[in-house]
Structure 1
Amino acid sequence: MKELAYYDGRIGTPEELMIPFQDRVHFFGDGVYDATVGGNHKVYLLKDHLDRFYSSAKALDIKIPMEKVELGNLLTKLLSMVEGETHFVYWQVTRGIASREHIYEETMIGKLWVLIRPNKLRDPNVPIRLITKEDTRFLHCNIKTLNLLPSVIASQEAFKAGALETVLHRGDVVTECAHSNVSILKNGTFLSHPNDNLILRGIAKTHMIQACHRLGIQVLERAFTLEELMDADEVIVTSSSNFCLHADDINGKPVGGKDPGTLRRIQDAVLEEYLQYTGRKSIFD
């Protein structure tokens, strides 16, 4: 199978599966999700992603229809059914099926969705362009909710501007990107917004911070400003599908490029963890 979809026990292609009209996702975006890459048919950092997935569901009182171990086994099994060596592995749970009412039955069991398709990792040595935008999302960004319209709009604006991502900010304080985390290097120190309610706790960012600790690079998890972003030695963008990209342009102005040595050490450490975890020899093979 080249691309796989799963809904509530049924497996097919995305075109074949039909979703019940009264799944609450259609009316309310009532659900949470997580995603990562699959390499060599292994779901990368599976435990970390499952932990975040169950935390997001718990925060919204959504009942996932199986335990973590069972879901992990299911994702691994489904991944083995898809052709290729590198994949995008996505899963979500919606609250369930019911007549359209804002209130819900607390005993309702959620509906599990999975999507697996071929994927390619970006070359971390190729710099990317960014734009900035005021962060107008709600105040629970730490929950990986399905309500992603602000992120969709910000991503589309980046695309129209010829950029890969949008850096969001509340006032002068940088939070994260539309679908990534953003961090900076300055004078040999790695700075990143703390894991509060204004950002999603990025698993790729967490593992990058762990790599910094192993490398002896000082880490400060504190809020930083737009001015600090533009003046940074390096601007680093991370997500579960692209672990350690770097920017050379924000809003058409050159940024970064001042500490390639430290950047490369971090990139090498992050990619080495991925290769060891998956048994791959290269992110490109």
Structure 2
Amino acid sequence: MKNLGYYNGEYDLIESMKIPMNDRVCYFGDGVYDATYSRNHNIFALDEHIDRFFNSAGLLQIKIPYTKDELKALLKEMVKKVDSGEQFVYWQVTRGTGMRNHAFPGEDVKANIWIILKPLEIKDMSQKIKLITLEDTRFLHCNIKTLNLLPNVIAAQKTEEAGCQEGIFHRGDRVTECAHSNVSIIKDGIFKTAPADNLILPGIARAHIIKMCKKFDIPVNETPFTLKELMDADEVIVTSSGQFCMVACEIDGKPVGGRASEIVKKLQDALLDEFLEETK
């Protein structure tokens, strides 16, 4: 298949799949998701993504109808059905299907599992990106990878209209994260990234770059940083599952970074090597 959609045991081309109108995702975005990439039909960092997925569901009291091992086995089986070995691997769980009602359905209603697979390669980390800053108007549970993404959609549209590749959220003067990614800075040889509190999603790529910093004895500071620190940083780095370590060259039309390229290259090479090794 060129791509694949899956819903509760049934699968077909994504464009051929149909979903019940009463799936709670339609009315409430009542569910959580996770995503990563595969190469050679091998899924990257699957254990970590599955752990985060189950954590997000647990925080919303959604009971996933599979064990972790069962869901991993299902995803590994599904990626082999898509022709391309390089895929975007996405899955979500919604609370179930029932007549519209804000309160949770009864315990007899089972959660729904979705999987979407499509050919896609990871980003080329040699390309620098342009960013804009946006006031963070999302709710206070950003640590849950919820399907309620309307603020992120609006931010993505503003970013595109500005001719940029990503938007950086801030609450007042505190930088939180990006619309689709985590954002970190390098200053005076120190890697600084926002703490994994309720205002950011604890990114898997963020965890991997922190691990690489520690491997290379690059100091890591997980405390809040400000918009001024962002603009004055030696480098501004955006991380996500498909773009392990992208470097910014511009924020709000002003040039940034470019003063710690050796550190960046070391991290990029190490992260790419890790990906290639795990998915060979």
Q: TM-score, normalised to structure 1's length?
A: 0.97
What is the CA distance between 1:109 and its match in structure 2? 1.8
SS of the residue aligned with 1:26?
Answer: helix
Q: CA deviation at 1:259?
A: 0.7
Q: State the shift of 1:85 in Å.
A: 2.6
Q: CA RMSD in A?
A: 0.7
Q: Does 1:42 align with 2:32?
A: no
Mapped to 1, the partners of 2:275 and 2:87 lie a distance apart of: 13
- Aligned-partner Cα distance in 1 for 2:195–2:66: 31
One-letter code aligned to 2:68: K
Structure 1 match to 2:99: 99
Counterpart-to-counterpart distance in 2, 1:49 and 1:25: 21
- Distance in 1, matches of 2:11 and 2:124, equals 32
Match for residue 87 of structure 1?
87
After TM superposition, what 4+ stretches of structure 1 lie above 4 angstroms from structure 2? none
2:262 and 2:70 map into 1 onto residues whose CA distance is 42
Match of 2:53 in 1: 53
Question: What are the Cα deviations for residues 143-189 of structure 1, in whole angstroms up to 9, with x where unaligned?
Answer: 00000000010011111111000000000000000010000000100
Q: Which residue does 1:192 correspond to in 2?
A: 193
Which residue type is aligned with residue 66 of structure 2? M
2:140 partner letter: L
Matching of residue 66 in structure 1 with residue 56 in structure 2 = no
Does 1:173 pair with 2:181? Answer: no
Say yes or no: does 1:128 pair with 2:119: no
**Residue 105 of structure 1, CA deviation:** 2.9
Structure-2 separation of matches of 1:120 and 1:46: 17
Matches within 5 A, 1:121-270: 121-270=122-271
Give the structure 2 partner of residue 22 of structure 1: 22
Check conservation: 1:204, 1:239, Cα contact below 8 A: yes
Distance 2:86 2:153 in 1: 25
Query: Matches of 2:14 and 2:4 in 1, distance apart?
Result: 7
Q: CA deviation at 1:106?
A: 4.7
Between the aligned partners of 1:86 and 1:253, the Cα distance in structure 2 is: 35
Alignment identity in percent?
53
Q: Secondary structure at the match of 1:243?
A: strand
Return the alpha-carbon distance in structure 2 between the equivalents of residues 37 and 104 of structure 1.
Answer: 32
Partner of 1:283: none
- For residues 80-138 of structure 1, what are the alpha-carbon distances to aligned partners after superposition, in whole Å with 9 as ceiling and x for unaligned? 11011311000000000011011123523210000000002221111000000000000
In the aligned structure 2, how far is the partner of 1:85 from the partner of 1:12? 18
Letter in 2 for 1:251: D
Which amino acid in 1 is paired with 2:234? D
Amino acid at match of 1:227: K
Q: Secondary structure at the match of 2:14?
A: coil
Q: For 1:244, what is the secondary structure of its paired residue?
A: strand
Please give the secondary structure, in 2, of the residue aligned with 1:137.
Answer: coil
The code of the aligned residue for 1:100 comes to R
The alpha-carbon deviation at position 211 of structure 1 amounts to 0.5
- Between 1:259-268 and 1:99-108, the stretch displaced more is 99-108
Which ranges in structure 1 are unaligned for 5 or more consecutive residues? 280-285
Q: CA deviation digits over 1:195-218, x for unaligned, max 9?
A: 000000000000110000001100
Query: What corresponds to 1:109 in structure 2?
Result: 110
User: Where does structure 2 lack aligned partners over 5 or more consecutive residues?
Assistant: none
Other structure's SS at 1:15 match: helix
Say whether 1:77 aligns with 2:63: no
User: Residue in 2 aligned with 1:9?
Assistant: 9
Deviations 1:242-265 (A, max 9, x none): 111000000110000001001111
Shift of 1:276: 0.7
Is the Cα–Cα contact under 8 Å of residues 62 and 109 in structure 1 kept in the other structure?
no
**Number of residue pairs aligned between Structure 1 and Structure 2:** 279
State how far apart, in whole Å, the 2-side matches of 1:42 and 1:127 are: 27
